[in-house]
Chains A and B, each alone.
Chain A
C-alpha cells in the first residue's frame, strides 16, 4: 500500500526550491509559506496514512486573490499544485508530490453569508460540513449531506469528492445540494459557477467540478442549499437470521415505494464489535442488523413503519425495535457511527473500502466478501449504506506485518472488482484518489478514460493540478490491470504518464 507509482519528479523544480519559496512569499504573508522539513512533514499524508510523500513546500493562502496569484505563478513556472482541505480524505486525494506545492485551504474557514430567504449559505471551502448545520440550526434548518467525518471534513473537500453520507438515499449527495462555487483555474483565472439560483444555463460546470477530486480547479467559495428539519424522525432496529433475509428486505422496502431517509446494514462481525465498544443495545441473536430511519410528518412515519414491520416479518425478521424518543434513536445510530474505532479496537489496523453495488446484489456481495475473507485469511466487518448500495467493508489486519499488508491490499482490490462485476462502482463517496487509481480500468476502457483526460487537459493543459490522481499512471491500463511499482523502478518508462 505504501509503494505506488507517482508522476516523475521534476528535478529542476526541486533544485529551485529556495527561489520558489521566496517567490511564494510575495503572494501571501510569509508566515503562510512553510518550507522547512519539520513544518512540511505533517502535511505528507491525509487520512489515508498508508501513503506518504513530502511536498516541496506548503502554502496557506488567505483569500481568493492570493490563490489566483499563486496558481498563476505556478502555471508560468510549471510547478505542480496539490490542493488540500481538512485532510480527512480516505483515498489519498491530497497526497503531495516532491516537486509540488501543497495548497492548503485551512485558512478559508469563515461562513460568508447565511441567506434564509433563499435557503442557502455562502461559505469558504475550509468550513467544516457540520458547522454549516450548526450555523443555521437555530432556525430549524440543516445541510443534508452527512459523511461520517462531517465533524471535521471541509465543505470544499466535500465538493471535490462529491461526499454523500447516511442520508443520501433520500437527500442526494453533495452535487444535489450545492448551488454554486467560486473556483480558481490552474492558470489563475477566477470563475464563478452558479450562485443563488437553481440550475445554471449552458454546460453544467458545477456538476463537472463536483467529484473532480481537485483536478480541475481550486474551490474558494461554495454556496450550499439548506433544508428545513423534518417534523418527525424515527428509527427502527431490525434483526435478521441470515444475510439473504436482510438483503431481500432492503429490496422489498424500496420496491414498496418507501424511501427511507437512511437504511443501514451491519453484519455479525460489526454488530459484535460495536456492541462491545458502545453497548448500543443491538440484538445479539441477529446475523444481520438493519437500521431504518424515516422522516416526514408524524402520521406518515407511523404508517410507513407499520408497512416496514410487515415487510420485515415477511422476510423472517427476528426482532423489531422502534425508537420511542430522540435519545433512543441516537442510541441506535451510536453503534453504527462507532464502527471505525470499534474495529480499530479489534485489530491493530483496518482498511476501509468504499464500493457501490445495486441494492439487489447485497447478499451476493456479502457472500463473496466472506469467501474472500477465508481466501486471504483476514477478518472483515461489513457496514453498508444499504439504501443506496454503498458498502464499507473494514478489513482487519496488522500493518507491521508486510505480508499481511500485501494480502489486505489484494483483498480490497478483489472486493472492488466484484462490485464492478455486479454492476456497481469502484467508489461511492471516498473518491478514486491515489488508492483506486489503477483499478479505474476495471470500470472504464481506454476511450472512457481518454475522454476524461481530454477534459482535464483542456482546462489544465500542462497537467499541473493534482497530477497522478484518479487516472491510471500507465495508460493502456486495460491490458496492464493493476500496476504495482516499487519506488524508482517503473515498468515501462517510455510510456506517456499522466
Chain B
C-alpha cells in the first residue's frame, strides 16, 4: 500500500497527463493534488469538451482508461460501468438483450467533426443532456441509480445503489449529473436500462404555422397514446450564414425535403402502433394535413439524426440550447422564424438554436428568459467574446451551488471555472 502511494505520488510529479486505471489510483492522485493544491481538468473522451468554459489546470485527469462493464444484469434492469466506458459500447451490449438507454444520450459528435461520438458514460452523466424521449421517460439524471467516485479531498464516496427505490441519505446521483465533473471524479456509475420497444413509426406532418405547431405539441402532451418523441423542424433561413444541412440530415425516402415539418414517434408492438395511429389521426385531425409515415428503419434513422443534432453538423456558428415551458413554444417560434436555424424537441420544450455572430446572442437569450426558460450556450463561434455567460443562474442558486461545491471539493480543484467564473 505504502509503495503504491509512493509510486502514484511519483507519477503525479512526473506527468501532467494522468490516466488512472483503478479507483484507488484516482483516489491517490487526487490526494496528491489536494496536498499540493493543483487544479485538475477531469475528462473522459473529450467528446463534449467544447461545452462550458475552458479549464485552466496544471494536471489533466483522463478517465478513458478506467473503462469496462462491471456488472450487467438484464433482468434487474441495470448496468454498472466504469466511467470511461463508451456509450456506443454500452448500447451495443444492451442491444443484444433487446435493451437500451431509453433517455437517448445526445450525440455531440456531428457538431464537432461530422461523425457520431457519444462519448463516455461518465461524460454522459456529468453533462445530463437527454434526447427526444425526455418528456416521456425522464432525463439522464432519472436513470442513474448510484455511483462511486472520489471527492476533492481524495476520499472515495458512494451514493445510491442498484435499486430504483432508495431513500437512504441525500440522492447524490442527481447532484452529480449535470455537474460537469466539478463535484466528484466518477469511478463507477449504475444506469437504469429499459426494454427496447419492438417497433416504431414516425408520422410527419407538413405544416409551418406556429399556432398550429404549438397546438400539435399540446395534443402530443395531452394524448394517452404514449407518444415518445415530437419535434418541429423548420426550413433553414435563406442566408449565407447557414451552410445548408437540412436535406442531408433528414435524407429519407418518405420525407419531403421541402418545407417545415412536425414529426412524432410511436413505439410498441405493430398492432398497438396501428391502433394508436388510428386514434391519434382522429385526435389531431390528420386528414386535414399533408402527412407521411416513416417505417421502422426510416424512423430509427430520423430520430438518430435528431438526437445527434445533424441539422447543425460542423457549424461554425454559436449553438444555444434553450428549455422553456411548452406553452411558450408559439411565442418562441414566432420570434425565431426565418431568422435563425433551429428545431424544437421535447414536444415544444427544448429549442436548439444556431446563432451566427456574437451580437445576436443577447437578443435570443433575452427572449428565452422572457418566456420563463433557461439557456446554455453549447457551442461558441470563433469570434465569441464571452460577454454573455454560458450558463444561466440566479444569485441565490449560485450561492447554494458554491456551498455545495465546497462541501465536495473544498480547495476548488475539479474543473475550475468550467461552469461559472466564481468556482
> Is there a direct interface between A and B, measured as CB atoms under 8 Å apart in the complex?
yes
With contacts defined as CB atoms under 8 Å apart, how many contacts are there between chain A and chain B in the complex? 255
Chain A: minimal CB distance from B149 (Å): 10
Q: Is the CB of A255 within 8 A of B75?
A: yes
**A296: B residues at CB distance < 8 A:** 226, 268, 272
Most chain B C-beta atoms within 10 Å of own C-beta, residue among A198, A208, A430:
A198
Known: A201-B391, A257-B196, A448-B158. A175 touches B174 (CB 8 A): yes
- B372 contacts partner chain A, Cβ-Cβ < 8 Å: yes
Q: Is the CB of B392 within 8 A of A428?
A: no
Q: Is the CB of B400 within 8 A of A205?
A: yes
- B349 contacts partner chain A, Cβ-Cβ < 8 Å: yes
User: Which one, A29-37, A46-54, A297-305, is touching chain B?
Assistant: A297-305
- The CA of A452 and the CA of B408, in the complex, are separated in Å by 9
Nearest-neighbor residue (CB-CB) of A190 within chain B: B396
- B388 contacts partner chain A, Cβ-Cβ < 8 Å: no
**A447: B residues at CB distance < 8 A:** 155-157
**Interface hits, A221-261 → B, CB 8 Å:** 228-231, 251-252, 254-255, 257-259
Total count of chain B residues near the partner, CB < 8 A: 85
**A455: B residues at CB distance < 8 A:** 170, 172, 404, 407-408
Q: Is the CB of B74 within 8 A of A255?
A: yes
**Interface hits, B137-180 → A, CB 8 Å:** 138-139, 141-142, 151, 155-159, 161-175, 177-179
**A470: B residues at CB distance < 8 A:** 169
**B179: A residues at CB distance < 8 A:** 203-204
Q: Is the CB of A458 within 8 A of B374?
A: no
Q: Interface extent on A, as a size class?
A: 35 or more
Known: A203-B179, A204-B177, A428-B167. A228 touches B223 (CB 8 A): yes
Q: Is the CB of B178 within 8 A of A203?
A: yes
User: Which one, A14-22, A58-66, A160-168, A331-339, is touching chain B?
Assistant: A160-168
Q: Is the CB of A208 within 8 A of B325?
A: no
**A199: B residues at CB distance < 8 A:** 128, 130, 134, 139, 141, 178, 323
- The CA of A259 and the CA of B226, in the complex, are separated in Å by 14
- B237 contacts partner chain A, Cβ-Cβ < 8 Å: no
Q: Is the CB of A297 within 8 A of B276?
A: yes
- The CA of A117 and the CA of B138, in the complex, are separated in Å by 19
- B326 contacts partner chain A, Cβ-Cβ < 8 Å: yes
**A430: B residues at CB distance < 8 A:** 167
**A449: B residues at CB distance < 8 A:** 169
Q: Is the CB of A297 within 8 A of B225?
A: yes
**Interface hits, A436-454 → B, CB 8 Å:** 440, 443-444, 447-452, 454
**A443: B residues at CB distance < 8 A:** 161, 168
Q: Is the CB of A303 within 8 A of B165?
A: no
Known: A162-B167, A359-B75, A451-B155. A257 touches B195 (CB 8 A): yes
- The CA of A300 and the CA of B274, in the complex, are separated in Å by 11
Known: A198-B349, A208-B170, A211-B171. A300 touches B164 (CB 8 A): no
**A230: B residues at CB distance < 8 A:** 224
Q: Is the CB of A458 within 8 A of B404?
A: yes
Chain A: minimal CB distance from B250 (Å): 24
Q: Is the CB of A175 within 8 A of B171?
A: yes
- The CA of A172 and the CA of B401, in the complex, are separated in Å by 26
Residue interface mask B55-95, A partner, CB < 8 A = 1: 00000000000000000011111000000000000000000
- B16 contacts partner chain A, Cβ-Cβ < 8 Å: no
**Interface hits, A106-128 → B, CB 8 Å:** 115-119
**Interface hits, B369-416 → A, CB 8 Å:** 372-374, 376, 391-394, 396-397, 399-401, 403-408
Q: Is the CB of A251 within 8 A of B75?
A: yes
Known: A198-B135, A297-B225. A425 touches B346 (CB 8 A): no
Chain B: minimal CB distance from A256 (Å): 8
Most chain A C-beta atoms within 10 Å of own C-beta, residue among B167, B172, B225, B373:
B167
Chain A: minimal CB distance from B140 (Å): 9
Q: Is the CB of A390 within 8 A of B139?
A: no
- A87 contacts partner chain B, Cβ-Cβ < 8 Å: no
Chain B: minimal CB distance from A399 (Å): 26
Q: Is the CB of A358 within 8 A of B169?
A: no
- The CA of A135 and the CA of B324, in the complex, are separated in Å by 25
Residue interface mask B345-368, A partner, CB < 8 A = 1: 010011000000000000000000
- The CA of A458 and the CA of B158, in the complex, are separated in Å by 19
**B162: A residues at CB distance < 8 A:** 358, 423
Q: Is the CB of A452 within 8 A of B169?
A: yes
Known: A172-B142, A303-B272. A202 touches B167 (CB 8 A): no
Query: Which of A191, A198, A299 is in CB contact (< 8 Å) with B400?
Result: A191
**B406: A residues at CB distance < 8 A:** 458
- The CA of A257 and the CA of B421, in the complex, are separated in Å by 46
Nearest-neighbor residue (CB-CB) of B99 within chain A: A257
- B101 contacts partner chain A, Cβ-Cβ < 8 Å: no
**Interface hits, A381-408 → B, CB 8 Å:** 385, 388-390
Query: Which of A169, A229, A356, A444 is in CB contact (< 8 Å) with B169?
Result: A444
Known: A300-B268, A360-B73. A193 touches B167 (CB 8 A): no
- B275 contacts partner chain A, Cβ-Cβ < 8 Å: yes
**B164: A residues at CB distance < 8 A:** 168-169, 172-173, 356, 388-389
**B226: A residues at CB distance < 8 A:** 296-297
Q: Is the CB of A198 within 8 A of B134?
A: yes
Chain A: minimal CB distance from B162 (Å): 6
- The CA of A202 and the CA of B165, in the complex, are separated in Å by 25
Query: Which of A115, A140, A360, A425 is in CB contact (< 8 Å) with B166?
Result: A425
A/B interface sample: 13 pairs, CB < 8 A: A162-B167, A175-B142, A185-B400, A193-B397, A202-B419, A203-B183, A205-B397, A210-B171, A299-B271, A360-B76, A451-B172, A455-B170, A459-B403
- A residues sitting closer than 8 Å to B (CB atoms) are 115-119, 140, 161-162, 164, 168-169, 172-173, 175-176, 185, 189-193, 195-208, 210-213, 216, 228-231, 251-252, 254-255, 257-259, 296-300, 303, 356-360, 385, 388-390, 423-432, 440, 443-444, 447-452, 454-455, 457-459, 470-471
- B residues sitting closer than 8 Å to A (CB atoms) are 73-77, 98-99, 128, 130, 134-135, 138-139, 141-142, 151, 155-159, 161-175, 177-179, 183, 194-196, 218, 221-226, 268-269, 271-272, 275-276, 279, 323-327, 346, 349-350, 372-374, 376, 391-394, 396-397, 399-401, 403-408, 419
The 7 closest A-B pairs by CB, nearest first: A207-B174, A257-B195, A428-B165, A117-B327, A255-B75, A196-B325, A300-B272
